Amino acid sequence: MTIHRYDVLASTNDEARRLALAGAPHGDAVVAARQTGGRGRLGRSWISPPGNLYVSVILRSPGSAGSHPQVAFVAGLAVVDAVRPLPASLKWPNDVLLAGAKVAGVLVESDGGALVCGIGVNVAQAPAGLPYPATALAAHGPTNLEAVLAAVLAGLDHWWQVWLANGFAAIRTAWLQRGPAPGDPLIVTQGPRRTAGRFAGMDMDGALLLQTAAGVQRILAGDVSGA
Ligand code: BT5
């Protein structure tokens, strides 16, 4: 496993995809000290100043190409483990929270048979002026970028092995232990549509289950905030 390091990249996911297409093996990682075009889901941007972690890992397994939604949950578990003993939690589908504020995000993309698992962790600093609260590990105690990188890679390896050996059922169980409590009030935003309800679990496809006045809704894509 090689860690490819750069001072600056547009997006570590793009560089990892380039390396994957050129045949880089499972586990190779791309790290940049900062990104100029870091991205989230749906074309959103990921603000990427120096001092934080921006890493993309190439993941290969037979049949993994169609499974990137599941791998995003695998990566979320890796980050929660990596920041221990800080009590991070998971927000559906791909956020890691500390004290209710976003500390990390995951963007899994697939291309040419490999998956690229991009992880951004606010280590030194969190951006201000976002529509919801963000935080950094440094606001919660002493921290070290290299140690966080090593722990994220170890956590990803661990949960990838769990996923390969035991399937999504094991990932789902672990995710639910670190996710919202049953009955927590949530608001789901899907484009212009906002739906209020209570957390009712996650199904075997990774869909969010939202208890609403009209019954349980199955949410496959959207943004979630606390009510
Ligand atoms: C994500 O998207 O949370 C996935 C972020 C993945 C970033 C990593 S960094 C390494 C790799 N290379 C990349 O180019 N990307 C990956 P999403 O759920 O769509 O959240 C995006 C939203 O989070 C933005 O619209 C902002 O509101 C907010 N945001 C942007 N930068 C942030 C930051 N540094 N910390 C917390 N929130 C942020």
Give the nearest ligand 1 atom to 120 CA: 9
Which residue from 46, 130, 190 has its CB within 8 A of the most atoms of ligand 1, so it is best to mutate?
46
Report how far ligand 1's centroid is from the alpha carbon of 128 (Å): 13
What per-residue confidence (pLDDT) applies to 225? 86
Report how far ligand 1's centroid is from the alpha carbon of 136 (Å): 13
Helix axes 145-166, 68-82, angle to 10 degrees: 130
With CA atoms as reference, report the closest residue to 30 among 50, 51, 7.
Answer: 7
Report how far ligand 1's centroid is from the alpha carbon of 10 (Å): 13
Q: Is 82 a residue whose pLDDT tops 90?
A: yes
Q: Is 120 a residue whose pLDDT tops 90?
A: yes
Which residue's CA lies nearest to atom 34 of ligand 1?
47
**pLDDT tens-digit profile of 58-72?**
999 876 556 778 999
Q: Is 104 a residue whose pLDDT tops 80?
A: yes
What per-residue confidence (pLDDT) applies to 113? 80
Residue 167 pLDDT grade (very low, low, confident, very high; cuts 50, 70, 90): very high
| Residue ranges lining ligand 1, Cβ < 6 Å | 11-13, 35, 38-42, 44, 46-47, 54, 56, 94-95, 102, 105-107, 118-120, 122, 126-127, 130-131, 134
Report how far ligand 1's centroid is from the alpha carbon of 119 (Å): 9
